[in-house]
């Protein structure tokens, strides 16, 4: 693709396939799409077990699961339980699109999918969706989903969305928003390119999922089949030291977004909450495990950091112990908290753990580390693909 900067023609994108010239034509969305009524069925009125009835698109699927180009040959939708079948409905066709008309986040309001390969399946649009169809056949199948996912369109929708905690969108908003459309030949080129990138992203996600499954399987096989003749049963307190985080707790929670600075950590899913320029009270004693005393979540950390709260325990290895081995063993145990209390001293310290000779611990630890590095490498590539796609969405469409 070639960059094209044309100050005299504001409706010409700055990134195009060679051989395409001229301005894109600009239209109101309501002049491009017809809109159809949708149902308001909840998840309780849908099922995945019966494929004989109408398939139904719930807005939650747009937000969390479905790709922009939703290929019905590979994407499964729930069906409507027969007793809840609506009396009237409009069946979706190839090239139809559906917007999510409600979201807690302006970044997701108006998120869109476009249907491919309906192949005779009866699919209807459901709760909190807006069902649209190209009324004048101005677009090729596949183009609209990406056009309506571009920053040019997304910025319009963010301005028009209404609400405070929950943002909403209606078909009336499409009287005030616009889309630019090139020739069908150029549309097809754009749709094909972005679809190929989406397919590669899907493949890359599957690679990462398989690697994570491999690691989980290795954990299970190693820690359930340890040779009892070559291991000692020790308590957690015999293999780990713990340190209170008092000296490392962040005082200013106005986090920054600069990875060059010191990360502020929590042991739960968020892990890195943000970054700080604070140079005092930084944990910089080497590798450790951070353990949330309330949730029992844990993370292996090999870089300097500060922490959010006093609930974090900092765990380090005693002599002749591989910290990575212990971390993987604790992760295998899948510690779960059933109540809001501190657990480490009262419960975790006294847990038994199988500890082989140090050289065996290191063999297992190195194996897990190798898989971790592969997961990290594949995840980095996945992120690059996402950035490439976003760059194209931001620079092809106007």
The answer, yes or no, to whether residue 9 has pLDDT greater than 60, is no
Mean pLDDT confidence for 200-216: 97
Instruction: Report pLDDT for 7.
Output: 47
Whole-number average pLDDT of the chain? 91
More confident residue, 321 or 267: 321
Instruction: Report pLDDT for 3.
Output: 61
- DSSP-assigned letters across all residues of 198-258: HHHHHHHHHHHHHHHHHHHHHHHHHHHS--GGGEEEEEHHHHEEEE--GGGB-S----B--
CATH number of 25-181: 3.90.220.20
How far is the C-alpha of 185 from the C-alpha of 197, rounded, in Å? 19
Topology agreement, domain 25-181 and domain 226-356:
yes
pLDDT 10s digits, 221-231 = 999 888 777 88
Answer whether CATH 3.90.220.20 is correct for domain 226-356: yes
Instruction: Report pLDDT for 8.
Output: 46
- In this structure, of 42-46, 60-64, 229-233, the range with the lowest mean pLDDT score is 229-233
Closest to 72 measured CA to CA, from 149, 146, 171, 141: 141
The answer, yes or no, to whether residue 247 has pLDDT greater than 70, is yes
Three-state DSSP at 332 gives: helix
Tell me what percent of the residues of the chain surpass a pLDDT of 90: 70
The answer, yes or no, to whether residue 5 has pLDDT greater than 50, is no
- pLDDT band of 2, cuts 50, 70, 90: low
Let me know how long the chain is: 398
Three-state DSSP at 157 gives: helix
The answer, yes or no, to whether residue 341 has pLDDT greater than 80, is no
The answer, yes or no, to whether residue 148 has pLDDT greater than 80, is yes
Structural domain boundaries in the chain:
25-181, 226-356
More confident residue, 396 or 279: 396
Q: What is the pTM of this model?
A: 0.85
Mean pLDDT confidence for 254-275: 90
Q: What angle do CA 42, 107, 271 make, to 5 degrees?
A: 95
Report yes or no: 265 and 273 within 8 Å, Cβ to Cβ: yes
């Amino acid at each position: 693709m070639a960059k094209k900067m044309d100050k005299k023609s504001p409706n010409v994108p700055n990134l195009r396939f060679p051989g395409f010239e001229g301005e894109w034509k600009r239209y109101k969305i309501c002049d491009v799409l017809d809109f159809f009524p949708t149902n308001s069925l909840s998840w309780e009125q849908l099922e995945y077990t019966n494929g004989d009835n109408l398939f139904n698109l719930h807005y939650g699927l747009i937000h969390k699961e479905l790709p922009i180009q939703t290929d019905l040959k590979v994407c499964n939708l729930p069906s409507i339980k027969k007793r809840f079948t609506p009396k009237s409905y409009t069946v979706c066709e190839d090239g139809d699109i559906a917007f999510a008309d409600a979201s807690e986040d302006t970044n997701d309001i108006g998120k869109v999918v476009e249907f491919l390969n309906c192949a005779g399946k009866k699919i209807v649009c459901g709760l909190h969706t807006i069902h649209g169809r190209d009324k004048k056949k101005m677009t090729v199948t596949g183009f609209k989903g990406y056009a309506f996912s571009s920053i040019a369109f997304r910025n319009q929708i963010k301005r028009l969305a209404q609400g405070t905690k929950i943002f909403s969108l209606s078909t009336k908003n499409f009287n005030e928003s616009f889309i630019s459309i090139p020739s069908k030949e150029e549309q097809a080129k754009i749709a094909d390119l972005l679809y190929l990138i989406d397919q590669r992203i899907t493949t890359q996600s599957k690679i990462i999922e398989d690697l994570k499954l491999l690691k989980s399987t290795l954990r299970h096989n190693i820690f359930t089949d340890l040779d009892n003749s070559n291991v000692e049963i020790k308590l957690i307190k015999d293999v780990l030291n713990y340190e209170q985080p008092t000296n490392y707790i962040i005082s200013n929670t106005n986090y920054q977004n600069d990875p060059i600075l010191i990360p502020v950590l929590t042991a739960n899913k968020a892990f890195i909450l943000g970054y700080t320029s604070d140079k005092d009270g930084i944990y910089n004693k080497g590798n450790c495990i951070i353990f949330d005393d309330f949730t029992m979540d844990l993370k292996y950390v090999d870089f300097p950091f500060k922490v959010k709260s006093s609930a974090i325990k900092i765990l380090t290895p005693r002599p002749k112990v591989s910290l990575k081995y212990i971390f993987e063993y604790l992760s295998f145990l899948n510690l779960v908290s059933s109540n809001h209390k501190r657990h480490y001293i009262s419960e975790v310290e006294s847990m038994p753990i199988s500890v082989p000779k140090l050289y065996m611990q290191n063999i297992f630890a190195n194996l897990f580390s190798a898989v971790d590095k592969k997961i990290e490498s594949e995840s980095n590539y996945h992120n690059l693909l996402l950035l490439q796609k976003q760059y194209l969405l931001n620079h092809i469409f106007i």
